[in-house]
Chain A
Amino acid sequence: MLNAFFTIIKHEMLITLRSAHAWLIPLLFFGMVVCLFPLTLGPDTDVLKKIAPGIVWVAAVLATLLSIENIFRADAEAGYLDLLLLSPQPLAFLMLAKIISHWLVYGLPLVMLSPLLGMVLQLTPAASLTLFYSLLIGTPVLSMMGAIGAALTVNIRQQSLLLPILILPLYIPVLIFGTNAVMAADNNLPVSGDLALMAALSLASMAFAPLFTSLALRTGANQ
């Protein structure tokens, strides 16, 4: 079982690393969306500082939604998804591997870029660091929840905005805790409470989301 788990992660990483710059697209999107805000709201330091956590988190959500939409689509078209569905290994476990590899490829680069964006948006170093931590703990939730939506909509091709509509309401808690933590750090307040709550959300979503994802994929396949 563990073997299958690591094989899937390795396989997914290899595919992404060998397909030319596919992983760069959400990252560039993330950076560009963040850069639009200073350009439209003006370069006022106080304003930027105040809205920086929100901007970075919303941009991360948008970038995740863009990339997660295709997490199962290519696999479904190639027939690889059917092989996973037929495999004797527990499907939820395989889905956990798929989602984790999605996060490693698309989520982690956003996290790595975030302290830089925090500095650009005039956050203090402490707040930038908290932004980094909050994204590190929180972006897995985005991938996990997004995978449920992607599994539900994998057979619907023409509606590309459907996934965000289904999933965005479920992102609200993690957005609230994530931005709260950064704002608290900017005001020199303790941040461990918010980060701990986010870690709880993250672990809970890791426990439940693969189950619902596999259930949704089986439903789609049985039609």
Chain B
Amino acid sequence: MIPQWFKNYFFSLRAFYQTSSLLLPWLIAAFSVCFIYGLAGGLFLAPADYQQGDAFRIIYVHVPAALTAMAVYSIMAMSGLMVLVFRMKIAAICMTCSAQIGVWFTFLALVTGSIWGKPMWGTWWIWDARLTSVLVLFFLYLGFIILHSVLPNNSGRDRACAILAVVGVINLPVIHYSVIWWNTLHQGPTISKFARPSIAPAMLHPLLAMIAAFLLFYGIILLTRMRNEILLREIKSQWIKEEFSHELA
């Protein structure tokens, strides 16, 4: 069913370990470029918003963090599916490492949103549809991490966590839309505050750069964590001895 070359490559922790060490410098370089341009463009080059003044600049942290949080959850759930269907070790490692990173992006999105909300809406928190869905995402991440930490460390743990991730991602759209309907039925359109005129290019380009930078940052941290996890799991295997033989000699 799965071609052998694919199996040799993607199911092998050793191949992943070696490729990722080649990939990491490139990711770091791309991240640095995007991050420096995004930061300079967002904080200095982009004009201040005519309504929100300089306070709008928190968008360059808030939106990338929220987007990355959601992207990480979907990557986590896809890895979970791979764990359940193909029993891929590497997918299990990717899933658990992603959860630990994603929860911090979600936390960052909540905190920056709150800091932005105080001067703009006059309150730290409103029960707006988007805020509530991000909060639920935060709870889903925490549930996953707690389940992972409580279960005994064996192959069953990865599969149990994968089930939770997959069930969570099936429910996420339902939760999102139910929260939107709940909000529009009860509270009136406070959300229209989001619907400002389409964003000017001078503001948009740094934002896109920051989104790319956040995703690349996730990639860097993910690869680093996965490499650590691989070393921990495979510490007794022969290839690690070969890999580090020149350092041990």
Contact = CB atoms under 8 A, between A and B. Distances in A.
A159 interface: yes
A162 interface: yes
Contacts of A173: 171, 174-175, 178
B126 to A, nearest CB: 17
A180 B182 contact: yes
Contacts of B167: 148, 170, 212
Interface in A127-172: 148, 152-153, 155-156, 159, 162, 165-166, 168-170, 172
Interface size class of A (residues with CB under 8 A): 20 to 34
Given A180-B185, A215-B163, A223 B156 contact: yes
A222 B152 CA distance: 13
B160 interface: yes
Contact of B163 (A170, A180, A212, A222): A212
A156 B150 CA distance: 8
Nearest to A213: B163
A165 B143 contact: yes
A7 interface: no
Interface in A196-215: 201, 208, 212, 215
Interface size class of B (residues with CB under 8 A): 20 to 34
A152 B156 contact: no
A148 B143 CA distance: 13
A221 to B, nearest CB: 9
Interface string B152-191: 1011100110011011101100110011011001000000
Contact of B160 (A165, A201, A219): A219
A153 B151 CA distance: 8
A29 to B, nearest CB: 23
B178 A216 contact: no
B240 interface: no
A169 B136 contact: yes
A46 B185 CA distance: 20
A223 B154 contact: yes
Which secondary structure dominates where chain A touches chain B?
helix
A223 B152 contact: yes
Contact of B136 (A172, A215, A223): A172
A170 B150 contact: no
A113 interface: no
B140 interface: yes
A177 interface: yes
Contacts of B159: 215, 219
A212 B162 CA distance: 11
B208 to A, nearest CB: 31
B124 interface: no
A26 to B, nearest CB: 23
Given A148-B167, A215-B163, A216-B160, A168 B150 contact: no
Given A166-B147, A219-B156, 14 more contacts: A155-B151, A156-B151, A162-B147, A165-B143, A168-B139, A169-B143, A173-B171, A176-B179, A176-B181, A201-B174, A212-B163, A216-B160, A220-B156, A222-B156
Interface of A: 148, 152-153, 155-156, 159, 162, 165-166, 168-170, 172-173, 176-177, 180, 201, 208, 212, 215-216, 219-220, 222-223
